[in-house]
Amino acid sequence: MKTDSLNTQKISKSLSDFDFDEIGDEHLYTGLQTPMRNDAFALTDQQKKEKIAHLFEQIMHVMGLDLSDDSLKGTPKRVAKMYIDEIFSGLNPKNKPSVALFDNKYEYGQMLVEKDITFYSNCEHHFVPIIGKAHVAYISSGQVIGLSKLNRIVQYYAKRPQVQERLTNQIGTDLQELLATEDVAVIIDAKHLCVSSRGIKDDTSATVTSFYGGEFKKPEKLAELHRYIYQ
């Protein structure tokens, strides 16, 4: 499937020309797939939690926190559980939502738009939250998907360390494959706490990315989509 992210800019210098801080601040990413090691699932979820809890306890110790305090002593295990079972659960393919397709018996041939899908993700450069809304649209090629599944697909890809451009394209290409149609659009409007809480500390800006395939590349369809979303 071809991708079309209107807000992905060409980078004039190679990744090797950037230092690690620049890569984080410039929000560069290396491809459509989330970078994963080949042995990413050699450990069970429980083993991962135990290891993360141990390592996070060390981090807290290095920072000078007193882990014997009643408020802090359970934090390493809480963080480990949160990472594996909640905010990064989208890293594990077993958590991908199962999707059933249905024949388009209503013969509805116009675009379907699910807008204002709230999601929480995390910036892969600083591991701080990305908070935003996704707008998803498609035109049926003969089959349709349950509305809640659109939300679940957004949530699945959001629940991993992310870059917004990659998140946008992952949702778009997955829906194209599931629905067997190029006619898919995704718009994401999000706030990055790595921008608002550190670095430039700009609390008012937001980032918008988009994916337009098939009919949504046509100006008239794009204008119709924007009317549904923004009016």
Contacts of 110 (CB under 8 A, 6+ apart): 139
Q: Give the separation between CA 156 and CA 160, rounded to whole angstroms.
A: 8
- Which residue of the set 57, 155, 162, 164 is catalytic? 164
Please say if 86 is a catalytic residue: no
- Which residue of the set 135, 176, 182, 192 is catalytic? 192
- Which residue of the set 27, 50, 126, 224 is catalytic? 126
Q: Is residue 146 helix, strand or coil?
A: coil
Cα–Cα distances (Å) from 154 to 12, 72, 132, 136, 199, in that order, read: 31, 33, 11, 9, 28
Please say if 61 is a catalytic residue: no
Q: Give the separation between CA 136 and CA 184, rounded to whole angstroms.
A: 8
For residue 212, what are the β-bridge partners?
185
Please say if 27 is a catalytic residue: no
- Which residue of the set 57, 124, 165, 215 is catalytic? 124
Please say if 123 is a catalytic residue: yes
Please say if 126 is a catalytic residue: yes
Please say if 107 is a catalytic residue: no
Please say if 46 is a catalytic residue: no
Tally the C-alpha atoms within 13 A of residue 180's C-alpha that lie toward its C-beta.
7
- Which residue of the set 125, 162, 170, 215 is catalytic? 125
- Residues carrying an active site annotation: 123-126, 164, 192, 194
